Amino acid sequence: MKRIPIINMEVDVVNIASAVKTVSDWSKEKAGRYVCVSNVHMCMEAFDSQSFRSVVNGADMVIPDGKPISIAQKLLGQKQADQVRGQDIMNALCALSGEENLKIGFYGGSSDSVLKQVEGNLKASYPGINITYAYSPPFRALTADEDNEVVATINSSEVDVLFVGIGCPKQEIWMAEHKEKLNCVMLGVGAAFDFIAGNKKHAPRWIQKIGFEWLFRLLSEPKRLWKRYFKHNPRYIWYFMQQWLFKRAFD
């Protein structure tokens, strides 16, 4: 895989098929790996924090979930670059679970009831899915003993692919901290559990394709998201334009 820096965040040039195959192949190794699902929010969090930048750039794979990220890759000369939405790769791996006996796990979600709804909806969509672990952690830091128990339970459940949905940047930091402790591939999927449970609405595909999924989400959750988008989006455009113009000047 080829990695392209977008401002200070390194993002792999992949498509949905190659990303799914890579995760599937890694899952057979029974070793800890983690995948970051990148968007403008993550890019600017990495820009603002050197420690978080190290977490993201230290991931085994960083996929371009946000349309502005994949567009940036294209503008930097990667014509084959494609958007790989976290929700899409999650769905593809869940579909693959039954075919290749991938054991799926969930860590995150706002409550146990949400995870039960996620499990029910995924089993209805993918009858062969093999879910061996699901846990919604409390909204506080786990004690050392609690964390050790989580690690032991995930490993004893023989999870191959663990979807982690506790929000950026918390989930990326959690995955990095647990890479050496867990025997599975972790993917940070943000709010995917709420989308699958039906608590949040997906943007229509045509809005996703033109790169305005962020606007749909902003209009859906203005109180929660307006500060994030108005803080990060203008700065992302400003800093990326500097990178793009510098590249054009010296190519």
Q: Residue 49 contacts by C-beta under 8 Å, 6 or more apart in sequence?
A: 169
User: What Å distances lie between residue 173 and 12, 21, 79, 230, CA to CA?
Assistant: 19, 24, 31, 24
Cβ-contact 97, 27 below 8 angstroms = no
What's residue 152's pLDDT?
98
Q: What are 189's two structure tokens?
A: 């999927």
Q: What are 184's two structure tokens?
A: 């599975």
As a whole number of angstroms, the distance between CA 195 and CA 186 comes to 19
pLDDT in tens, 136-186: 999 888 999 999 999 999 999 999 999 999 999 999 999 999 999 999 999
Residue (of 211, 210, 225, 203) closest to 87 by Cα position: 203
What's residue 227's pLDDT?
77
Number of domains in the chain: 1
Interhelix angle for 67-75 vs 222-250, to 10°? 10
- Which pTM was predicted? 0.90
| DSSP state letter for 220 | H
Q: What are 179's two structure tokens?
A: 């890479």
What's residue 157's pLDDT?
97
| DSSP state letter for 4 | E
User: What Å distances lie between residue 53 and 3, 101, 179, 184, CA to CA?
Assistant: 15, 34, 16, 23
pLDDT, averaged in runs of 10, over the chain (251 residues): 94 96 96 96 96 98 95 95 92 92 91 89 93 93 95 98 95 98 96 75 67 66 73 94 90 75
What number of other Cβ atoms are within 10 A of residue 115's Cβ? 22
- Pairing mode, if any, of strands 2-6 and 9-13? antiparallel
Q: Which domain holds residue 141?
A: 2-250
As a whole number of angstroms, the distance between CA 193 and CA 91 comes to 11
